Each structure stands twice: as C-alpha cells, then as structure tokens.
Amino acid sequence: MFRWADNITAGDTFTMKISIISGSHRKASQSEKVGHFIQRTLEEQKLCDETWLFKLAENPLPLWDESIWEGNPEWKKHLDPLSAELASSDGFVVISPEWHGQVPSGLKNFFLMWGKGELAHKPALIVTVSSADGGAYPVAELRMSSYKNNRICYIPEQIIVRNVESVLNDDPAKNNPDADGYFRERIKYALGILKEYAQAMGQVRASGAADLSTFKNGM
C-alpha cells in the first residue's frame, strides 16, 4: 500500500485519508454537527479510506508562543500526535463558523502551528457555518490569510451552510426539507471534487518541485 504522496507507478494501490477540522471553540457546536455529517458522507460515499475529525471545542491548543520553536516538551505533547495525523492526510475540510464576521481566533491559532509541511500542497475544502445568512466573511478570511507558511491549498469550490440549525440534523423533523436536501447534495458534490484534487496533488508533492527546505516560508 502507498500513500498518494509516495512515488506513483502504474499498478500501485493507494490509501487516501481526509481530515476534518471543526473550527468552533463551542461545546456541541453547529460546526461539529456539520463535521460529523461530512465525515459520514466521506465514509458512506467511499470517497476515501480513512477520516479523522479534530475539534477545537474547549480550546485543546494553547495560544501559540515562541517556545514552540525551542522544542518545549509541553508543546510537543500537544502537537506531535496532531502533527502525525495531519502529515498522514491527503486532503482537508476546514469548517469555520462566522463569529462577529470573523474566523474564530482558535482556528487562526491552529494555523500557526504547522511549520513542518503537514498541510503543504494538500487540497482543502472550506465549509462555513452561520445561524442566519452570514458565512461569507470567514470564506474570504481563510482564503486571504491562513495558508502562507503552512501552504494549504484551498480548492475553488466552497460550502456556506446558512441557517445551519435547520439543515443536516439527524432528526428529519428539525430540517427544512428543501434546504436540507440541497446541502446534502452540494456537500457530496464538493467532497467528490476534493477527492480528485487530493489524488492529483499527491503528484505535486511527489515531484519534489514543492520541496520546503530552501524556501521554508511563503512570500
């Protein structure tokens, strides 16, 4: 078995892992609900072989500080297991609620941590969440300022889950049938595209052209 990042030769078989980051700090958040729906869809549609859902609920990561660069053992305890999960992923779904027209600070903090290429040159689908008709601001913010040094690659497709309380609930009685049906189909479509990018971008990393040792940070 090979990962997509390995050298690819005809006849090889591959495993694909998609990881989902739920960017809300709130317990039992709507982002987490959407994250579980996305994880289930990836598995039921057989879009990948493995999934991993990481929640920022209740702030599992402290605010970044520079001892991270000095190998502080406390930081290593937090980061090493996450680094391994992210590094073994071929693609990502980044879920962000709109809070005061922004991405939650815990999610921006998360993006400061990954300097070893864990996310680099791997595709990501942005999914944003609003209890009303918001959700565009976090899309714009993520596309503008969350990728430079970690080099995550947002695909052009995105999902904005408006009126999130009335869709993607397990209990059909809580769903607005039209909107719910639309989001279920649209998410399936977007995840299908993400899968194709994940397959294709393995070749970018395997080519060696995107080596990170010389130009460690983005410009």
Task: Select from 122, 135, 91 the least CA-distant residue to 210.
Answer: 122
In the complex, minimum distance from the CB of residue 141 to ligand FMN, in angstroms, rounded to a whole number:
12
* 41 touches ligand FMN (CB under 6 A): no
Taking residue 203's Cβ as centre, other Cβ atoms within 10 Å add up to 12
Residue found by looking up tokens 């039921």 in the block: 44
27 binds ligand FMN (CB under 6 A): no
Q: What is the DSSP code (8-state) at residue 75?
A: H
Binding mask 144-183 for ligand FMN (x = CB under 6 A): --------------------x-------------------
Written as six digits, the tokens of 111 are: 């993006």
Residue with smaller CB distance to ligand FMN, 33 or 205? 33
Q: Which of 62, 81, 101, 177 binds ligand FMN (CB under 6 A)?
A: 101
Asked if 130 interacts with ligand FMN (CB under 6 A), we say yes
* CA–CA distance, 3 with 138 (Å, rounded to integer): 31
Widest CA span in the chain: 55
Q: Applying CB under 6 A, which of residues 31, 51, 146, 158 lies at the interface with ligand FMN?
A: 31
Smaller CB separation from ligand FMN, 115 or 134: 134
Span near ligand FMN by CB under 6 A; candidates 1-9, 62-70, 93-101, 174-182: 93-101
Residue 167: strand, helix, or coil: coil
Q: Map residue 137 onto helix, strand or coil.
A: helix
